[in-house]
Amino acid sequence: MTAPLIDPFARPISYLRVSVTDRCDFRCVYCMAENMTFLPKKELLTLEELDRLSTAFIQLGVQKLRITGGEPLVRKGIMTYFESMARHLQSGQLKELTLTTNGSQLRRFARDLAECGVRRINVSLDTLDDKKFADITRWGKLPQVLDGIAAAQEAGMRVKINAVALKGFNEDELFTLQEWCAAQDMDLTFIEVMPMGDLGNEDRLDQYWALSDLRARLAKQFTLVDLAERTGGPARYVRLEETGQKIGFITPLTHNFCESCNRVRLTCTGELYMCLGQEDMADLRAPLRASAEPSLLEEAIRAAIARKPKGHDFDYSRQRVDGQVSRHMSHTGG
Smaller CB separation from ligand SAM, 148 or 334: 334
- Residue 72, CA distances (Å) to 4, 11, 42, 331 in order: 28, 28, 17, 12
SS3 64: strand
Q: Which of 5, 16, 28, 186 binds ligand SF4 (CB under 6 A)?
A: 28
Residue 137 binds to ligand SAM (criterion: CB under 6 A): no
Q: Report d(CA 60, CA 271) in Å as an integer.
A: 18
User: What H or E segment, with its residue span, contains residue 175?
Assistant: helix 174-183
Torsion angle, CA of 6/12/15/17, rounded to 10 degrees?
Answer: -40
Q: Which of 71, 126, 173, 192 binds ligand SF4 (CB under 6 A)?
A: 71
Residue 253 binds to ligand SAM (criterion: CB under 6 A): no
Q: Which of 13, 16, 20, 31 binds ligand SF4 (CB under 6 A)?
A: 31
Residue 126 binds to ligand SF4 (criterion: CB under 6 A): no
DSSP E strand stretches across the chain: 15-19, 64-68, 96-101, 120-124, 158-165, 187-192, 224-226, 235-240, 246-250, 263-266, 271-273, 281-283
Residue 70 binds to ligand SF4 (criterion: CB under 6 A): yes
State the DSSP string of 197-216: S--TT--HHHHB--HHHHHH
Instruction: Name the one range near ligand SF4 by CB under 6 A: 67-75, 169-177, 231-239, 314-322.
Output: 67-75
Q: Report d(CA 86, CA 96) in Å as an integer.
A: 10
- Compute the least distance from the CB of residue 162 to ligand SAM, in Å: 4
Smaller CB separation from ligand SAM, 54 or 102: 102
Residue 32's binding partner, choosing from ligand SAM, ligand SF4, none, with beta-carbon cut-off 5 to 8 A by kind? ligand SF4
Site for ligand SAM in 196-235 (CB under 6 A): 196
> How many residues lie near ligand SAM (CB under 6 A)?
20
Residue 124 binds to ligand SAM (criterion: CB under 6 A): yes
Edge-to-edge strand ranges of the sheet holding 187-192? 224-226, 235-240, 246-250, 187-192, 158-165, 120-124, 96-101, 64-68, 15-19, 263-266, 271-273, 281-283
Instruction: Name the one range near ligand SF4 by CB under 6 A: 21-29, 57-65, 218-226, 317-325.
Output: 21-29
Residue 334 binds to ligand SAM (criterion: CB under 6 A): yes
Residue 330 binds to ligand SF4 (criterion: CB under 6 A): yes
Q: Report d(CA 279, CA 253) in Å as an integer.
A: 18
Which residue, 178, 193, 191, is CA-closest to 246? Answer: 178
Residue 24 binds to ligand SAM (criterion: CB under 6 A): yes
> How many residues lie near ligand SF4 (CB under 6 A)?
13
- Compute the least distance from the CB of residue 221 to ligand SAM, in Å: 24
35: number of Cβ within 10 Å:
6
Smaller CB separation from ligand SAM, 101 or 245: 101
Residue 32 binds to ligand SF4 (criterion: CB under 6 A): yes
- Compute the least distance from the CB of residue 43 to ligand SAM, in Å: 18
Site for ligand SAM in 78-117 (CB under 6 A): 100-102
Q: Report d(CA 300, CA 282) in Å as an integer.
A: 8
Q: Report d(CA 199, CA 187) in Å as an integer.
A: 30
SS3 28: coil
Residue 162 binds to ligand SAM (criterion: CB under 6 A): yes
- Per CB under 6 A, residues contacting ligand SF4 are 24, 26-28, 31-32, 69-71, 102, 124, 329-330
- Per CB under 6 A, residues contacting ligand SAM are 24, 30-31, 68-69, 71, 100-102, 124, 162, 164, 191, 193-194, 196, 329-330, 333-334
